[in-house]
Copies of this chain bind each other. A is one copy, B any other.
Amino acid sequence: MSATKFVYFFGGKKAEGASEMKNLLGGKGANLAEMVNLGIPVPPGFTITTEVCTHYYKNGNSYPAGLREEVDSAMRKVEEIMGAKFGDATNPLLVSVRSGARASMPGMMDTVLNLGLNEQTVQALIKRTGNARFAYDSYRRFVAMYGDVVLGLKPEAKGEEDPFEVILHAKKKERGVKFDNELNADDLKDLVARFKSEIKKRLGKDFPENPMDQLWGAIGAVFGSWMNARAIEYRRIYKIPEDWGTAVNVQSMVFGNTGEESGTGVAFTRDPASGENRFYGEFLMNAQGEDVVAGIRTPLSIEKLREVMPHAYSELEGIYKKLETHYRDMQDMEFTIQDRKLWMLQTRVGKRTGFAAIRIAVEMVDEKLIDQKTALMRLEPEQLVQLLRPIFDTEDKKAAVKASRVLAKGLPAGPGAACGRAVFSAPDAVAWARRGEKVILIRIETSPEDIRGMDAAEGILTAQGGMTSHAALVARQMGKVCVAGCGALEVDYGKGLMVVKGRTVKEGDWISIDGFTGEVIEGKVATKPSEVIQVLLEKSLDPAKAPVYQLYAKIMGWADEHRRLRIRTNADQPDQSANAVAFGAEGIGLCRTEHMFFGGERIKAVREMILSEDRAGREKALAKLLPMQRGDFEGIFRVMGTRPVTIRLLDPPLHEFLPQKEEEFVELAKEMGVTLEKLKTRNAALHELNPMLGHRGCRLGITYPEVYEMQVQAIMEAACQVKSEKIDVHPEIMIPLTGHKAEMKVMRELCVRIADQVVARSKAKVEYMVGTMIELPRACLVADQIANDAEFFSFGTNDLTQTTFGLSRDDVRNFLPFYIEHGLYKVDPFVSIDQEGMGQLIELAVKKGRGTRAKLKVGICGEHGGEPDSVEFCHRTGFDYVSCSPFRVPIARLAAARAVLRESK
């Protein structure tokens, strides 16, 4: 026997596994074992570990020695408990074979049910249940599923239907019926025969009759499905490592479709959409589990079970409470009732919307089920975005209702308000979105193939399926607005339209869906800011009347208690700055000054400056800009008060301020009183082949010091003015694009000279700092030298990414999407800091910089500053602060707290 255990049995009163063995047994396997240990009725079975999966892929799709013996031995224990025998001609045991990875990947991998049926065992099943229709229905489902998943029978050509569906369709036509359940036992028996002969025809071999062969075929197929395209795509989106692998669960079948005393369902211990603390779920009588999840029949609310089968409902109620208390988290459970007996098939932590996640976390803390830290660790910072997202404007929606534009109502499966153009396929959703259009993806039901289209859409609308259907589940996880199971829709994929109560919505028509109410509305409905925005920014809503804001405030309060990083914002206008402060910004990390150079009189003066031939001419033009810049800074300083404000001196190359078009040049020449030719000569002299690597940043400050002198003067005069108004301002002057100690030295001297002159002239003694952006690899390499003259470093990770990778963000369209799609890059380095590569430069720079200047202030002002993984990296690397756009400030606050908690783990 091998030293490693590959197979873990569960069933009866005792399991070999437990919930903490998720890495080895996968989520499903570990939780099945745990339920058994909790005394909850679970059909017995066993789990083949994820290590077997790893072995399988490392060794050319082969299994480790000893696995077969362990499987055989576990199967015997199952047989014992079930009192049936796998493959037995008189009392056969049937099993399901399912995947189960460490992280839930709903619908991504393959499953085979009813395994163990063959011509012999099906007879035994008929004899035992007395239900030939059920037995043949199970058999034909098994053959079709096995044929698809294990034997790989797919549609032969694109656009063709599934081969088994084709046969089924033909059969129904022959029999003149519309639904599957109108077929009788003989019809189904005939279907089995036709399915098998189709398999024989296509593959040239018989369907396997030996249940053991069936079992190993299914195990191999499940392991194989770890590497199917859907699973790879899903892992990419959710950053799940490939080497985790999946476990395989083999479990005795129980049937929800043996008759009207059987049923199956899915339930949540709390509402996964809103987070409300109520038992929540759906079921179908006389059905198999897949019928609920796949959304083919719209199921009943779990409340109804109380009426239909009170004892099962009450047992289920006891179980759900036990499970939530045990796991201290909202659970998503699957159950089956077979001939009035309740079996639990699965429990796992339930996916939820951002709304629900926050509400559940806060309420569980109130209920003392979990502590604050646990609550924070359960929230993905990105989920906060849902709290900030617009909701429909009440007045405009009322008007839509009045105008009878409400087409129908479905299930509110993903909260929020979404407007977009109707599209009826996932590829269309992707195509429209690429063109910059907002779309609502409308499907009869969604399937795992639709995942990219769902990702591209603003919202998802389905005609079939309940709150636990694929569409609802995935939308919840993606944080998409979703209305599911809206039965009134008659979708016609062929024509690219849907008809709702006689009204037609074609591809491209505008449609609105309300994920709070389930309403589907023709045309656009105006949106208004979320509660949080209304309270914080518009101050138009009483916080006491804003429950969503209350949740937000609690989470933010807890986050602030734990985080070490300071959170600043990137803002260059007083109103932006005020918003950021409302969101909790503790300073400005990046105030760009170039935006202030555009607009009316300013751009004229800027162009005059650029076109001047000597310093005197430039200084004359700059003198016009000085009071305007000073005014800008005064406004910002007044809003920010005592909070530090980092102002970056002019960064972009000068040609960015010149016109682009011929006619603009003609006009400008007239305005400036120079010849068109002169203007064009100057423009040509400024033209750059690679402006990203050109004459910009401190290179401008060094060659045209008068520009920076004006800016420093404006900053310091504004600071002195505001300080004289009794506000203790803290300006931090930031030099862009430094790459060499000499640049920093020259620039620091310039700043200090001008700043000290201004302060000397003023009565207000303003304290200021001079520091630099770190956005070039060389700056990182010589950070020790640069720190001699820089009091702070602010990593400009956008440009640092561009230079480290040699990638122009403007020019990646033809290859970066390809890289990400094909997994060459695990993440887009413009979204999340490339810790493996660029991270080394950042760590080096911090170490070297602090080596020279122990108290060097270190921050980040690239767009990564609001991305949770990057925030965590900054925390680990010893940053003092991160800076991000105002609306990302709450996310950064939460991410910063989580970084501390994760570290202390």
Q: Which chain B residues lie closer than 8 Å to A825 at the CB level?
A: 740, 742
- Decide: B703 and A782 in contact? CB cutoff 8 A: no
How does the 8 Å CB contact mask read for A718-750 relative to B, with 1 for contact and 0 for none? 000000000000000000010110110010000
Contacts A690-B690, A776-B806, A806-B693; A702 near B838 (Cβ below 8 A): no
A739 CB, min distance to chain B CBs, angstroms: 5
- Decide: B694 and A811 in contact? CB cutoff 8 A: yes
- Decide: B702 and A808 in contact? CB cutoff 8 A: no
Q: Which chain B residues lie closer than 8 Å to A837 at the CB level?
A: 739-740, 778, 781-782
- Give Cα A746 to B812, complex, Å: 19
Which listed residue (B685, B692, B699, B824) contacts A693, Cβ 8 A?
B692
- Kindly state whether residue A819 has any CB partner on chain B within 8 Å: yes
Which listed residue (B782, B805, B815, B838) contacts A836, Cβ 8 A?
B782
- Decide: B806 and A799 in contact? CB cutoff 8 A: yes
- Decide: A746 and B824 in contact? CB cutoff 8 A: yes
A460 CB, min distance to chain B CBs, angstroms: 31
- Kindly state whether residue A854 has any CB partner on chain B within 8 Å: no
- Decide: A808 and B690 in contact? CB cutoff 8 A: yes
Kindly report how many copies of this chain are found in the complex they form together: 2
Which listed residue (B689, B777, B838) contacts A691, Cβ 8 A?
B689
- Decide: B823 and A803 in contact? CB cutoff 8 A: no
- Give Cα A858 to B324, complex, Å: 60
221-259 of chain A: CB within 8 A of chain B: none
- Kindly state whether residue A579 has any CB partner on chain B within 8 Å: no
Q: Which chain B residues lie closer than 8 Å to A685 at the CB level?
A: 814
Among A695, A703, A743, A806, max chain B CB count under 10 A is at A806
- Decide: B806 and A778 in contact? CB cutoff 8 A: yes
- Give Cα A785 to B886, complex, Å: 38
- Decide: B740 and A810 in contact? CB cutoff 8 A: no
- Kindly state whether residue A504 has any CB partner on chain B within 8 Å: no
Among A692, A737, A777, max chain B CB count under 10 A is at A777
Q: Which chain B residues lie closer than 8 Å to A702 at the CB level?
A: 815, 818-819, 824
- Kindly state whether residue A804 has any CB partner on chain B within 8 Å: yes
Q: Which chain B residues lie closer than 8 Å to A742 at the CB level?
A: 819, 823-825
Q: Which chain B residues lie closer than 8 Å to A777 at the CB level?
A: 777, 803-804, 806, 841
A823 CB, min distance to chain B CBs, angstroms: 7
- Decide: A805 and B739 in contact? CB cutoff 8 A: yes
- Give Cα A282 to B786, complex, Å: 52
Q: Which chain B residues lie closer than 8 Å to A782 at the CB level?
A: 836-837
How does the 8 Å CB contact mask read for A742-767 relative to B, with 1 for contact and 0 for none? 11001000000000000000000000
Q: Which chain B residues lie closer than 8 Å to A805 at the CB level?
A: 739, 776, 778
Among A702, A778, A802, A841, max chain B CB count under 10 A is at A778
Q: Which chain B residues lie closer than 8 Å to A818 at the CB level?
A: 702-703
- Give Cα A834 to B699, complex, Å: 18
- Decide: B841 and A781 in contact? CB cutoff 8 A: yes
Q: Which chain B residues lie closer than 8 Å to A803 at the CB level?
A: 777, 803-804, 806
Contacts A695-B815, A742-B823; A810 near B778 (Cβ below 8 A): no
A702 CB, min distance to chain B CBs, angstroms: 7
- Kindly state whether residue A303 has any CB partner on chain B within 8 Å: no
826-858 of chain A: CB within 8 A of chain B: 834, 836-838, 840-841
Q: Which chain B residues lie closer than 8 Å to A703 at the CB level?
A: 814-815, 818
- Decide: B808 and A838 in contact? CB cutoff 8 A: no
- Give Cα A114 to B22, complex, Å: 95
- Give Cα A694 to B811, complex, Å: 5
- Give Cα A743 to B837, complex, Å: 14
- Decide: B804 and A690 in contact? CB cutoff 8 A: no
Q: Which chain B residues lie closer than 8 Å to A811 at the CB level?
A: 688-691, 693-695
- Kindly state whether residue A167 has any CB partner on chain B within 8 Å: no
- Kindly state whether residue A82 has any CB partner on chain B within 8 Å: no
Which listed residue (B689, B739, B743, B802) contacts A808, Cβ 8 A?
B689
User: Smallest CB-CB separation from A778: which chain B residue?
Assistant: B837
User: Smallest CB-CB separation from A688: which chain B residue?
Assistant: B811
User: Smallest CB-CB separation from A697: which chain B residue?
Assistant: B806
- Kindly state whether residue A431 has any CB partner on chain B within 8 Å: no
- Kindly state whether residue A537 has any CB partner on chain B within 8 Å: no
A881 CB, min distance to chain B CBs, angstroms: 24
- Decide: B695 and A814 in contact? CB cutoff 8 A: yes
- Decide: A688 and B808 in contact? CB cutoff 8 A: yes
A650 CB, min distance to chain B CBs, angstroms: 14
- Decide: B838 and A781 in contact? CB cutoff 8 A: yes
Q: Which chain B residues lie closer than 8 Å to A737 at the CB level?
A: 806
Q: Which chain B residues lie closer than 8 Å to A806 at the CB level?
A: 692-693, 737, 739, 775-778, 799, 803
- Kindly state whether residue A807 has any CB partner on chain B within 8 Å: yes
Contacts A781-B840, A782-B836, A811-B691; A804 near B776 (Cβ below 8 A): yes
A862 CB, min distance to chain B CBs, angstroms: 14
- Decide: A838 and B778 in contact? CB cutoff 8 A: yes
A174 CB, min distance to chain B CBs, angstroms: 43
A612 CB, min distance to chain B CBs, angstroms: 15
Contacts A778-B838, A824-B743, A840-B781; A693 near B815 (Cβ below 8 A): no
A705 CB, min distance to chain B CBs, angstroms: 11
- Decide: B815 and A699 in contact? CB cutoff 8 A: yes
- Give Cα A78 to B585, complex, Å: 75
- Give Cα A782 to B690, complex, Å: 26
- Decide: A804 and B778 in contact? CB cutoff 8 A: yes
- Decide: A694 and B740 in contact? CB cutoff 8 A: no
Beyond A689-B692, A690-B690, list 8 extra A-B contacts (CB 8 Å): A688-B811, A692-B806, A703-B814, A775-B806, A776-B806, A777-B841, A778-B804, A778-B806
Ordered by A's residue number, 28 sampled pairs between the chains whose C-beta atoms are within 8 Å are A688-B808, A689-B691, A689-B692, A689-B811, A690-B693, A690-B810, A690-B811, A692-B693, A692-B806, A693-B802, A693-B807, A693-B811, A694-B811, A695-B812, A695-B814, A695-B815, A699-B815, A702-B815, A702-B819, A702-B824, A703-B818, A740-B825, A746-B824, A777-B806, A778-B838, A781-B837, A781-B841, A803-B803
Binding site for B on A (CB under 8 A): 685-686, 688-695, 699, 702-703, 737, 739-740, 742-743, 746, 775-778, 781-782, 799, 802-808, 810-812, 814-815, 818-819, 823-825, 834, 836-838, 840-841
